[in-house]
Structure 1
Amino acid sequence: MLGPEATAGLLPWAALADEIAALLQDEGIAVPPRSVLPLAGGSTLFVMPASDRTVAMAKLITLTPGNAARGQPTIQGDVVVFDVASGERRVVLDGPTVTARRTAAVSLLAAQRLAPVPQGPLLVVGAGVQGLAHVQAFVEVLGVREVWVASRSAASAEALAQAARALGAKARVVQDADAALAHCPLVAACTPGTAVVLGARPRHDAFVAAVGAYTPTMAELSPGLCQWMAQQGTVVVDTADAGHEAGDLLQAGLDVARLPTLRDVVRQAGAARSRTGPVLFKSCGWAGWDLAAARLVLRSANTATPGH
């Protein structure tokens, strides 16, 4: 059973993004719909299984938004990983760490394939766990050297700016996220998805990753922004499940089912490179991303212990 630090150590950013790309090329993946169980007091239990031909996993996490005000983690739980052939439980990973790293790694993969100016500057809206994960991934792999941070909490914004500086990037806290769009071709919206935080038009060379909203009633981007991105550039979703989950896009009246997915991008690399205009990447989450993390961890374990 691995804690947060050990789990993170087995999921380096570049390798995890590569594993996600490899998973999208794999025809032997099984990912049933996630089960979502509302709990008393406003919490939610998520059950997310997935498997390939050799690895099976189930992520069991709770989301408790009220914990933020109490200084406690809002996401808690585990990822249990099994060997398909033997049925043996091989490892239990820290659920929040897997969630944070695989979500940022999916955005990283999308930026690698689609961002017109992948080196930034990067605007991060939302200074929580996902904000930090996106800063770490984009600075380490894309070579971002300037980070702008916008958050409702001044203390959280400054803490994320300090973390970016510790990684070797310049960082500043900004009060107006919409105004910052004119200066940042790389954007990550990493809020809880309970309110719209971006409504202005981004640059024509912008790449915007929006990861906070994952139900039809949630949104962090305004309908007008989403409509403009669809008209002027390209909108890509992480999976086909976004057709009933991507609140930002659904509230904008977009036909989400007709939008290209990250799988399409990975399998048509040349077409992805030829796109012009701004890019909006909408990520809602998928157990396949957790499976990619599990595959990477098991491969590392097998390399460390030959003959197991």
Structure 2
Amino acid sequence: METIPYIGTEFVKKHLSYAELIPAVRRALQEYSSNRSVQPLRTAVSVPGANGTLLTMPSYSSTDKTLMTKLIGLYPDNTKHNLPTHHCYITLFDENTGVLKCLMDGEIITAMRTAAATVVGTQAVFEGKPRVLCIIGSGLQAKSHIAAFSEAYTFEKVKIWGRDHQKAENVCSEFKQLVMENCETIEDAVKDADVIVTVTHASEPILKGAWVKKGAHINCVGACRPTWRECDDECLTNATVYCDSVESASNESGDVILSKAEVYGEVGEVLLGMKPLRPAHHTFFKSLGLGLEDAVAANIVWKAVEENAQRKS
């Protein structure tokens, strides 16, 4: 029986860095907006009895010559069973033959490429030097975003809020090199923040636009279904709204769909000079996540696999 290589979490952690990933994700967003990739809208299969969803995200990067599909099991109720809410795997294929090259753990890749995309989105549309970062959420994505932003910026303070105050405190303790503040309310966390990141499982708005100061930038990362929201109408209607994919935002983002806000353009279009920045009270980036981002991240890891194999041969 033929054995398909499995690339586990520890190998991915060791060989994927933000220093390499952030530029790769920047290229991926540009590739997408210039129509040089093959990137269909993700598909979702509901499992109503378990409050679960299976997502499939195929993608081909012509720049990185990488063909892959990501498979995600999204089960919010898993917290009741002390299990992860996401199960994520990447299948990597040979672009010339379609042969399956490996199965790769996708949890770390998803966390890191999502955070890298948020950093790229912020760099593209936020003008000036941000002093205060606000993270709303206290899970894996909260940690990955703090780590990614620490690679790209130097903040005077990082403020965090989570439904579980102790869990948020635990996140603070993991970043002792930073000035961290665990806030009692979302409003306290947001009110003086230059950059805001929402990474929650919220299905109803928890962030109010009235709390957001002029000139701030919101990165809306959670709420990946058409009926879910993290942000109220004012967060979007009072902002210039950018996204990673107009198609995805128009079909999958409850924040965009339910607010009826205009999506001005894609971050990739800004990076390519196709869309100039447009002034507003604040800026807003809706990140749904592209399979193309997973492809470039998986390609970095796969190159490390090949290099290891060459050294051993």
Same fold? TM cut 0.5:
yes
Cα deviation per residue 1:226-281 (whole Å; 9 max; x = unaligned)? 2122xxxx21111111012121122222133xx20121122118934x85652111
Question: Match of 1:268?
Answer: 273
One-letter amino acid of the counterpart of residue 301, structure 2: V
**Does residue 42 of the first structure (1) align with residue 48 of the second (2)?**
no
Which residues in structure 2 correspond to 1:246-285 (within 5 Å)?
Answer: 246-256=253-263, 259-268=264-273, 271-272=276-277, 277-285=281-289
Which residues in structure 2 correspond to 1:73-152 (within 5 Å)?
Answer: 73-152=84-163
Identity %: 25
Secondary structure of the 1:32 match is coil
Deviation at 1:303, TM superposition (A): 5.0
Deviation at 1:179, TM superposition (A): 3.1
Question: Match of 1:169?
Answer: 178
Deviation at 1:299, TM superposition (A): 3.6
Judge which range, 239-248 or 26-35, deviates more.
Answer: 26-35
One-letter amino acid of the counterpart of residue 239, structure 1: S
Deviation at 1:52, TM superposition (A): 2.7
Which residues in structure 2 correspond to 1:1-308 (within 5 Å)?
Answer: 1-26=6-31, 27-39=35-47, 40-53=49-62, 54-165=65-176, 168-199=177-208, 200-229=210-239, 234-240=240-246, 241-256=248-263, 259-268=264-273, 271-272=276-277, 277-302=281-306
Shift of the 61–270 alpha-carbon distance from structure 1 to 2, 3 Å rule, reads: closer
Runs of 4+ in 1 over 6 A off after TM superposition: none
One-letter amino acid of the counterpart of residue 18, structure 1: P
Secondary structure of the 1:67 match is helix
For the residues of structure 2 that align with 1:7 and 1:141, how far apart are their CA atoms? Answer: 21
Contact 2:133 2:195 in 1 (8 A): yes
One-letter amino acid of the counterpart of residue 235, structure 1: V
For the residues of structure 2 that align with 1:261 and 1:270, how far apart are their CA atoms? Answer: 8
Contact 1:43 1:62 in 2 (8 A): yes
For the residues of structure 1 that align with 2:272 and 2:309, how far apart are their CA atoms? Answer: 33
Contact 1:116 1:206 in 2 (8 A): no
For the residues of structure 2 that align with 1:276 and 1:296, how far apart are their CA atoms? Answer: 37
Deviation at 1:297, TM superposition (A): 2.3
For the residues of structure 2 that align with 1:35 and 1:157, how far apart are their CA atoms? Answer: 32
For the residues of structure 2 that align with 1:57 and 1:280, how far apart are their CA atoms? Answer: 29
One-letter amino acid of the counterpart of residue 59, structure 2: A
Deviation at 1:79, TM superposition (A): 0.5
Deviation at 1:305, TM superposition (A): 5.4
For the residues of structure 2 that align with 1:113 and 1:11, how far apart are their CA atoms? Answer: 23
Secondary structure of the 2:68 match is strand
One-letter amino acid of the counterpart of residue 244, structure 1: N
Shift of the 76–204 alpha-carbon distance from structure 1 to 2, 3 Å rule, reads: same
One-letter amino acid of the counterpart of residue 157, structure 1: A
For the residues of structure 1 that align with 2:131 and 2:303, how far apart are their CA atoms? Answer: 32
Judge which range, 115-124 or 217-226, deviates more.
Answer: 115-124
Deviation at 1:149, TM superposition (A): 0.8
Structure 2 segments unaligned to the other structure (5+ residues): 1-5
One-letter amino acid of the counterpart of residue 212, structure 1: G
TM-score normalised according to structure 1 size: 0.89
Shift of the 294–158 alpha-carbon distance from structure 1 to 2, 3 Å rule, reads: same
Cα deviation per residue 1:10-53 (whole Å; 9 max; x = unaligned)? 22113212111212333541112212111231111111111134
Deviation at 1:169, TM superposition (A): 0.4
Structure 1 segments unaligned to the other structure (5+ residues): none
Secondary structure of the 2:7 match is coil
TM-score normalised according to structure 2 size: 0.88
Judge which range, 55-64 or 290-299, deviates more.
Answer: 290-299
| Number of equivalences | 299
For the residues of structure 1 that align with 2:128 and 2:199, how far apart are their CA atoms? Answer: 20
One-letter amino acid of the counterpart of residue 296, structure 1: I
One-letter amino acid of the counterpart of residue 35, structure 1: T
For the residues of structure 2 that align with 1:116 and 1:177, how far apart are their CA atoms? Answer: 24
